[in-house]
Every structure is written in C-alpha cells, then in structure tokens.
Amino acid sequence: MIAEAQSARTLTDLNEPQQRAVVLPVTQPPTHGLILAGAGSGKTRVLTTRIAWLLAGGQAGAHEILAVTFTNKAAREMTTRLAAQTAVNVRGLWIGTFHGLCNRLLRLHHREANLPQTFQILDVTDQLAAIKRLMKNLGIDDESYPPRDIQYFINAHKEKGVRADGVETWDGITRRKAEIYAEYEAQCQREGVADFAELLLRAYELLFRHEPLRTHYQQRFRHILVDEFQDTNRLQYGWLKLLAGGGAAMFAVGDDDQSIYAFRGAEVGNMRDFERDFANAQVIRLEQNYRSHGHILAAANALIQHNRERLGKELWTDAGAGEPIRVYEAMGDQDEAGFVAGEARALMEEGSACSQIAVLYRSNAQSRVLEHEFFARGIAYRVYGGLRFFERQEIKHALAYLRLIANPDDDTAFLRVVNFPTRGIGARSLENLQTGARQINASLYAAAASLSGKAAVTVGGFVRLIERLRAETLALSLPEQIEHVIEHSGLAGHYQNEKEGQERLENLDELINAAAVFVASEEVSRAEEAGGALPAFLGYATLESGEHQAGEGEEAVQLMTVHAAKGLEFDVVFITGLEQGLFPHDNAASDARGLEEERRLMYVAITRARRRLYLSSAQTRMLHGQVRYATPSQFLAELPPQSLKLLSRPRSAHANAAFWRAGFAPFQRPPVVVREPADFAPELPGGLKLGMNVRHARFGLGVIIDAKGSGEETSVEVNFGGAGIKWLALAYAKLEPATARN
C-alpha cells in the first residue's frame, strides 16, 4: 500500500499524455517508449517522474536503471529531483552523460579495455597539444596538415566507430591523415590516455567484443532512459542498442523538430530508426506547451510543417493567444540594432526584467553592432555562452597585426602573432629574443635583427612580413587595409582549415565592417588629424573591448546565438537578421537537409519566447566593408499572417510590395520582382543596375544585389532564390533584364 501511494503521488499534476508516458507498462517482451516532447512540454519532468514511478512502485531497483543525459547539469538536476520524489536511495542509479557513464564503465573494466587503471582523459585542448607534439616528432609540416584539421579528422571517424585501420582513403592527403591517426592512437595507448571521443568508442568496443561483460550489463540494466534523444550520434545510439539487446525497456525522450547539432555529429534519423529497431514501441506525443502564448506557438507550428522529414506533432496551449508577433524591417543593420535596443529600453521602463529579454542571432559576427548600440545607450548586456566581439581570438589576432603596422615596437602585439599562424618559431628563440631586447634596451621587433641561426630566418621572416604589409596597405582605405592584412597575414588561410573556422572568418569580415562604419562616422576626420585612421580605429577597438559587459549575477539583457539559446526561455525574445543567406545561412540554403536544419533552428528560436516575440531583418547589411542589399528570409513567408503585426512600412512603393501586401505570402521560387532598380544606382555593362531583376539560362529569375570590378572585368552577385546567391562574371554570364511578367 505504501508503495502504491508513493507511486500515485508521482503522477500528481501531470497531464494525460505525460501520465501515459510515465506509466508505460513493464512487460516481457519489453514495452519501449518514444516520447516526442515538444518545446516547453515538460520532457525532463516526464523522464524524472518515469524513474520515480519505477522506483516507488517497485517496478525496478535502483541498480537496474541507466539514465543518460547530455550535460552534467541535467544529470545533477535529475538526481536532486529523484531524491525529493522517492524514498529509495538513488545513489545506486547510473545517471550521467554519455562520456561520464563510459568513463565509469572503463574504470571498472580497465583491463578488459586494455587501459591502465589510472588512465587520464584528454580534453579538447590537451588532445590538440598531443597531436601537435606527435606531428613535430614525426616531422610533419603543420601548414600542409593543420593540427586542428587532424583533430577533427580523428574525432569524426571515432564518432562513426571507425579506427585508423578502417579509414577509407581515396588520395594521398586522406592516406597521410589516416597514418597520423594510427600514430596518434599508438601514442595515446603508450601514454595511457584517452580523449573524449575515445571514451565512447572504447566503451562500445568493450561491450561488443566481450560477451560476458555485455551479458552482465544487459541483464543488469532493465530500464534505459535517454534525454535529448534527437542529439545522439550513430555511435551513441549503437552503444545504447548494445546495452538494450538483452531485453531492456528503452525510454527515449526527444524532439526531432529541435535537432540542430548535425555539425557535432547528431543524427536526427536515430528517432525515425527507433520504431524500426524497437518493434514494440509506443509513440507518445507531448504537445501541450507550458511556456509560450498561442500566437508564438502558431508561428512555430506553421514554420516547422514545411519540413518533410519529421515525425509530426502540433504544440498548443491553454494560456490564450497572447500578443501578436512583432515584425520589423530595418533600413540597415545599425537601424535594426537601434530598434532592438530601443524596444528593450522601453520594455524595461514598463517593468520587464532585463534578464528576461534575449536577443538572438544566427551568426556570432552579428553581435558587434548590437553590443555597440546597447553600450551607447547604457543598457546592461551580457554575451551568453561566448566572448564579446572584440575579445574573440581571431579579432585580437587581426588587431595585433594592425597594431604592429601602426607601431612595430608594440611587444604585446608582437608576441601574440609572431608565431600565429605557426611559423616554426619556438619558445627558446623567443626567450633569446627577449633577453637580447632587454640587453640593448630595444623592442622585440628592433632586436630581431640581432638574432642568428635558424631564429634569424624565422623571426626575420615575420618582421619582413610586417614590413611588407605596412608598405602594401599604405595607400589603402582603413577597411581595405584590414581586409588585406587578414588575407595576407595568413589568418584567413589558417581559419579556412579549421573545423568551425567559418564562424571566425565571419567575425573577421565583421571587423572590416566595423572599420567601414568607423570611417563613415563624424569622428573620423578629427581622428585622422590626430594621427590617422588606423591608430584611431585601434584606440576605438580597445575602448570597445573594455569592461562594458554586465558582471556575473548582474541584471542584463542576454545576447546569444540561436544554438546557445537551446534549452533556455525568456519573457521577451528578439530574433534578428532574418535575411536570405544569413538565416537561413548561405551554407545550408541550397541543400535540402541543411535547409531543414536551419528551419529547425528557427523553430528553436521562436519557442524560446514566453510572452512577446520580435522578428527583424534589414534591407541592407555590411559585408566586407561594403553595403549589400538583402532580401527577407523565406522563413518569414512561412509564418501565419494572422499571428503577425508589421511595425515597418514596405521598403518602397514597388520594392517587395507584393510580398508585404500578401502579409508574407508563401515564398516564391524563383523569386518574383524583389526590388525595382533605383534611379541613383550606378549602371553596369549591358544596361544592368544594382537591384535590377535579371534572367539566367540555368538559374532562372534573380535580382542583382552587389557588384565589383569594372568594364569587362565586372562581376555581379545575384540572388536566385531557390538556386542560391551566386557571383557571376558579366562577360560570360549572359544575364538579361527581366520583369515579373516574363
């Protein structure tokens, strides 16, 4: 009776679908559960209550339960909740992340796993250092084979369950990478260390190869529960299937509509495979949302229905329709930032807590304009889960090169980039250089001439690079100077080879934009009188990187990428930069699977809002220091007009008017007339103009949004809608003026 009473108490305040999920019967053969838990539907509560129900009702002992989460924080919260919900001692439960549980398994069976009992775990930084050390010992050129690229290659294969001897090689480069992978494995085995990816792979291999151990854990864990199932990769899912192979009941909670981590290896297809792999599975949809008002959910539902590969559900709430979604089209990115900051200020004056206001953006580079505007208006802000713009590594590197061009005696800047990207300048050479500089009372730059041997060649090469950059940029404008330095210092090439280098390159582009804005400001003429645009801009950058961000624990508006916002919620949310090529991002817009993930990302962004949601775009945005025309994101066209409130007028009497008159009618592919050519737009060869609609034999209808070069060397950038945005040389493109009618 006591157990029954405890079991009944665990179901208090759950809605009917939540209760059905929690009390899935314990049967043989097992009844599996796939819980499709929509945003804000109480999935963590259901998972925790399921465990409490199993324990309180005597359906399972603590030692028979394995629960997998994706963060240590989630694991701790689950354990705390369970301790409060049940009288059973939860210390016997295996609750943790994939890496944490695999580490525990390998510690217990280190001999069978061929590891020392005291094996150490390499974090990402340690792993990279180990790879660099290995490559140096092997005499491998780290410019031809960047260590970060090798790190990504190794981890990507491990996450697919592929050892070095199983790598498919189709050319000399992949063959060499596979050889480095093999040498790295041997080094780790020799030193008794394991990286993060190794923990899971070796734990999988341990169970796969040792039948007695596999049988032991299959018989022990009768209930396996997984949180955030949509984020599992193939190896993680394989490990779970191995453990469940002895007849355990699988209980997977996730939301395929919120699968946004494909770049980390997450495989949304695991959710579709679940029903096939676990035949006796019940699919339960948690669709009642306890977070957002009706208009917000209507927008999320309408948007995500455009994705074809989904299991399907529809969020609803009994909290009422709430306020319509406010949509604002700004003249430019600075106008957009001003609008966001102004609305945030007004909301705070009306009583909204600033910590309950979040500004979301697709790319980290977008934060710079927003940070500047919030600081200028005295609004406390915090960049959540990341660094402020001028604190980011790539920005500091670029500024260090610029500082050396402006002042070669800047030792701090010298030490920052003398060996970045790597030039083979070792710590001993730098120690000798610093000693020599102190002896002659000179800067490191000046003392470089006194070096001899190999150091004279490597450090001297760096000095000559700075001299060359100074000479080449002398007659250039400030934005052109910065663009030239980024390209010819080696920074651009270095980040192009990084796994996530695209984001760093976007930040470097934004630095060029910052310079263009600075040049156009009223202060620049006075700055030039005081010593030139470059020193003035460097001073501005230093001031902007000052301690403007709110301190830990202080009330502040939250600025973050949409990826960083996953799992969070706020009373007020601004989603900015809703333009084609930005959100959805260029990298994904022309790929069906990529576009579906971008749409899921937008779905996540929308469902972060509880009470009020703003969507904003800009007619123009700075790129490479130049103004570019933008077209509204297709996601705006996929939202229900009755849930939207337009705050801005159409951009002109003609431009995009059909789109706005229709109240965000379905996005057309190929596009209808997007913009009439402006009277003041400079004419291009062939009678074309910026903003003109054109036709291409292969790509169809499009609009010219940018141009470069002159005469026969003119190239234009054209937005072809569904076919993407393309640069075309006019001499060969055969573009023809087009109208909406033809």
628-661 burial code (b ≥16 CB/10 A, e <16): bbbbbbbbbbbbeeebbebebeebeeebbeebbe
Q: From the candidates 64, 195, 198, 228, give the one annotated as an active-site residue.
A: 228
Annotation marks residue 423 as catalytic: no
Helices (H), 165-291: 172-191, 196-209, 211-220, 234-244, 269-277
Q: From the candidates 10, 18, 43, 255, give the one annotated as an active-site residue.
A: 43
- Alpha carbon 112 to its chain centroid, in Å, reads 38
- Alpha carbon 639 to its chain centroid, in Å, reads 24
Cβ contact 450:460 at 8 Å? no
Q: From the candidates 19, 31, 44, 626, give the one annotated as an active-site residue.
A: 44
Please give the structure tokens belonging to residue 236. 């993680």
**What are the Cα distances from residue 478, in Å, to 45, 165, 508, 543, 554?**
55, 51, 14, 18, 37
Which residues lie below 8 Å from residue 92, measured CB to CB, with a gap of 6+?
Answer: 61, 62, 63
Q: From the candidates 362, 504, 608, 689, give the one annotated as an active-site residue.
A: 608
Burial (CB count within 10 angstroms: exposed 0-12, middle 13-18, buried 19+), residue 111: exposed
Annotation marks residue 132 as catalytic: no
**What are the Cα distances from residue 650, in Å, to 367, 521, 581, 693?**
26, 27, 20, 18
Determine phi and psi for 176, rounding to 5 degrees.
Answer: -65, -40
Determine phi and psi for 378, rounding to 5 degrees.
Answer: 70, 30
Sign, Cα dihedral of 548, 554, 558, 560:
positive
Across 73-215, where does the E strand assignment appear? 94-97, 120-122, 193-195
**What are the Cα distances from residue 257, in Å, to 41, 195, 231?**
13, 31, 11
Q: From the candidates 258, 558, 619, 620, give the one annotated as an active-site residue.
A: 258
Annotation marks residue 227 as catalytic: yes
Cβ contact 527:536 at 8 Å? yes
Q: From the candidates 149, 195, 227, 329, give the one annotated as an active-site residue.
A: 227
Per-position DSSP letters for 646-715, written without gaps between them:
E-S--SSSSTTHHHHHTTSPPPPSS-----PPPTTSPEEGGGEETT-EEEETTTEEEEEEEEES-GGG-E
Count each helix (H run) and each strand (E run) in the chain, helices first: 31, 23
Annotation marks residue 228 as catalytic: yes
Helices (H), 378-500: 393-406, 411-417, 427-439, 444-447, 453-473, 478-488, 491-496
Residues classed as catalytic: 43-44, 227-228, 258, 608
